Amino acid sequence: DVKVTQSSRYLVKRTGEKVFLECVQDMDHENMFWYRQDPGLGLRLIYFSYDVKMKEKGDIPEGYSVSREKKERFSLILESASTNQTSMYLCASSGDRGFRETQYFGPGTRLLVL
């Protein structure tokens, strides 16, 4: 079974803090994705990566950065957390056909920024 794990299920941070969300997949997938999920808005893509050290902006990259130093790990960084970044963050991975492949999701991190 493909497994995607996320470092935290729940996180509470203060405005202005630097926040790291980590995601690890165990299926040797080339592609990894970070989404945020908000009620009524579905999933919105923040960033994705198709290879180590490669990244592409998604629909809402502002206020976020990412890092992929190893194939299995994809980190999302909030440089200076703000209250409007309170959300559910989902990580996913997929094989070499990118968006056309099934995406495998982690359980999500619910982030509250106070």
Partner 1 sequence: AQSVTQPDIHITVSEGASLELRCNYSYGATPYLFWYVQSPGQGLQLLLKYFSGDTLVQGIKGFEAEFKRSQSSFNLRKPSVHWSDAAEYFCAVVIDSNYQLIWGAGTKLIIKP
CB of 101 to partner 1, least distance (A): 9
Q: Is 102 a residue that touches partner 1 (CB under 8 A)?
A: yes
Q: How far apart are the first and last CA of the chain?
A: 37
Is residue 34 near partner 1 by the rule CB under 8 A?
no
Nearest to partner 1 of 44, 71 (CB atom): 44
Token pair in block for residue 109? 């991190």
| Pairing outcome for strands 54-57 and 64-70 | unpaired
Pick the piece of the chain touching partner 1 (CB under 8 A) from 16-24, 41-49, 62-70, 79-87.
41-49
Applying CB under 8 A, among 11, 43, 60, 77 the residue interacting with partner 1 is: 43
Question: Taking CB under 8 A as the rule, which mask of x and - marks residues 48-87 in contact with partner 1?
Answer: ----------------------------------------
Should residue 103 be labelled a site residue for partner 1 when binding is judged by CB under 8 A?
yes
By the 8 A CB rule, do 3 and 107 touch?
A: no
DSSP 53: T
Scored b (16 or more CB within 10 A) or e, 76-110 reads: bebeebeeebbbebbbbbbbeeeeeeebbbbebbe
Residues lying near partner 1 in the complex (CB under 8 A): 4, 40-45, 90, 92, 98-100, 102-103, 105-108
